[in-house]
């Protein structure tokens, strides 16, 4: 094999053979194929795409570059969820212990935030003592003790994807559905879960802005999971408006605990239950009742057990930002829009997110939403509260809010978008 012929095949809109794909992924992981050569191939894939056979083989090659986890020793069926990322997307936090409370094991490998979308690990690290990095043995121990675990993926899991993802990030080839799908699914399949539910976000605050693109990505990932023996379904969910009423790290943990206590915002509860039902159905637990587990405190018990098993103190006070700044409603009427991307960008500028993976985040930074689209507001009432430890960032953060919300005259007709838009698989 030689990399030039592989690049030329895809450049000329040809189909890569299984042997070509296996060789180029392995050679790149070992350093035999240079970064600039893989950049050229990634761009050719970006421009000319891949068919289902190619994507399946590409994913399999990335899985084969590292280890596969094995949960066969567990007595419970395993099921997992992956979100493509959004603003205020705290769903993993209440969802994992809720599904565990209903009889499944949830091995949830999560990531950190980059740009305007928050990271699950960053949120949980605002809990004093909580650890994201666990060995495989520790991960199994937490699963046995609590039924669910949320932690960082180890270095041995799909290392080819880790290397290729970093390359795509700096070569303008991120927005390729074959490469996105294979990146997500190689890690999830290598994780070893028996069933997988995908939460594919659609809207301004999501990676996929348009429904057709989100539908194509979801269908591709469902096919990949099916081709690799993992029962996979997907929900397309709305991300035009932030989920819940908080965006930030400790702020979102606090809201997640409210959901586990039987309260919390209606949209967060609705999506958590919808995904829980999908996960339990995929795991063969069709008769489980996640709404009951939320109401009777069973899910909260599993949350406390999981946090404690990972070194955290579920009773410790969560960090708060040193400074708050209130944005008020400009007029009386009905709030009709609240742009997810603008809110996410504001939270990022306040310190809740990072521009580079090495950057620190502020645990208490973020945005609190006092109204959601459809709510009546009065001129001068609090609309948003900005939280930060670095008040000098406030002018820069508030710039992102220009045009982010609309207050229409009272009586204006408003129709809310459903939380769940479609189901695939």
Contacts of 284 (CB under 8 A, 6+ apart): 77
Q: Is 161 in the active site?
A: yes
Kindly report the number of other CB atoms within 10 A of residue 351's CB atom. 24
- Residue 28 to residue 36: CA distance in whole angstroms: 11
Given the residues 10, 123, 162, 187, the one annotated as active site? 187
How far apart, in whole angstroms, are the C-alpha atoms of residue 68 and residue 14? 31
- Closest by CA to 219, choosing from 234, 239, 230, 202, is 234
Return d(Cα 352, Cα 345) in angstroms, integer. 10
Catalytic residue among 89, 161, 238, 267: 161
Determine contact, residues 330/407, Cβ cutoff 8 Å.
yes
Residue 10 zone, left/alpha/beta (φ > 0; ψ -120 to 50; rest):
alpha
Q: In what order do the strands lie in the sheet with 195-202?
A: 79-83, 195-202, 231-238, 420-424
Q: Which of 10, 57, 81, 82 is catalytic?
A: 82
In DSSP notation, 324-360 reads EEEEE-SSSEEEEEE-HHHHHHHHIIIIIS-SSTT--
Collapsing DSSP to helix, strand or coil, 75 comes out as coil
Nearest to 283 by CA among 121, 140, 148, 120: 148
Give the other-Cβ count within 10 Å of 158's Cβ.
30
Burial-class residue 155 by CB neighbours within 10 Å (0-12, 13-18, 19+).
Answer: exposed
- State yes or no: is 215 an active-site residue: no
90 is known as an active-site residue? no
Options 40, 110, 183, 186, the catalytic residue: 183
| Closest listed residue to residue 419, CA positions, set 316, 347, 311, 340 | 340
CA 258 to chain centroid = 20
Greatest alpha-carbon span in the chain:
68
Rounded to an integer, what is the distance from CA 249 to the centroid of its chain?
Answer: 14
What secondary structure letter does DSSP report for 391?
G
Spot the catalytic one: 57, 162, 168, 277. 168
What are the Cα distances from residue 245, in Å, to 89, 131, 254, 259? 10, 26, 11, 12
The contacts found for 11-14 with CB under 8 angstroms, 24 or more apart, are: 11/40, 11/44, 11/48, 13/48
Active site (catalytic) residues: 82, 161, 168, 183, 187
């Amino acid at each position: 094999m030689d990399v030039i012929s592989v690049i030329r095949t895809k450049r000329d809109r040809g189909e890569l053979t299984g042997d070509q794909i296996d060789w180029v992924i392995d050679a790149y992981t070992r350093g035999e194929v240079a970064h600039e050569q893989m950049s050229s191939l990634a761009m050719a894939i970006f421009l000319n795409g891949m068919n289902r056979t190619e994507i399946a083989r590409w994913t399999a090659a990335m899985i084969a570059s590292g280890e596969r986890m094995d949960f066969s020793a567990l007595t419970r069926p395993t099921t997992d969820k992956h979100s493509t990322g959004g603003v205020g997307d705290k769903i993993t936090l209440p969802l994992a212990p809720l599904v565990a409370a209903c009889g499944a094991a949830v091995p949830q490998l999560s990531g950190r935030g980059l740009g305007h979308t928050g990271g699950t690990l960053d949120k949980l690290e605002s809990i004093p003592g909580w650890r994201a990095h666990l060995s495989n043995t520790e991960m199994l121990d937490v699963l046995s003790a609590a039924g669910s675990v949320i932690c960082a993926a180890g270095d041995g899991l799909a290392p080819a994807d880790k290397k290729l993802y970093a390359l795509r990030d700096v070569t303008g080839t991120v927005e390729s559905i074959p490469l996105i799908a294979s990146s997500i699914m190689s890690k999830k399949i290598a994780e070893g879960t028996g069933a997988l539910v995908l939460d594919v976000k659609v809207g301004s605050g999501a990676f996929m802005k348009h429904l057709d693109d989100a539908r194509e990505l979801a269908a591709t990932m469902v096919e990949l999971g099916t081709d690799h023996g993992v029962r996979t379904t997907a929900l397309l969910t709305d991300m035009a408006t932030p989920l819940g009423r908080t965006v930030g790290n400790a702020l979102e943990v606090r809201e997640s605990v409210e959901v586990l206590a039987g309260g919390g915002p209606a949209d967060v509860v609705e999506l958590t239950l919808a995904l829980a039902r999908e996960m339990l159905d995929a795991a063969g637990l069709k008769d489980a009742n996640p709404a009951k587990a939320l109401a009777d405190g069973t899910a909260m018990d599993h949350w406390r057990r999981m946090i404690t098993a990972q070194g955290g103190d579920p009773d410790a006070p969560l960090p708060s930002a040193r400074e708050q700044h209130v944005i008020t409603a400009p007029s009386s009427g009905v709030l009709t829009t609240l742009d997810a991307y603008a809110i996410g960008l504001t939270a990022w500028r306040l310190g809740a997110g990072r521009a580079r993976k090495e950057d620190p985040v502020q645990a208490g930074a973020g945005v609190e939403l006092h109204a959601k689209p459809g709510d009546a507001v009065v001129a001068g009432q609090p609309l948003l509260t900005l939280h930060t430890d670095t008040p000098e960032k406030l002018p820069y953060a508030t710039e992102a809010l220009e045009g982010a919300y609309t207050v229409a005259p009272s009586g204006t007709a408003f129709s809310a978008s459903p939380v769940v838009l479609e189901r695939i698989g």
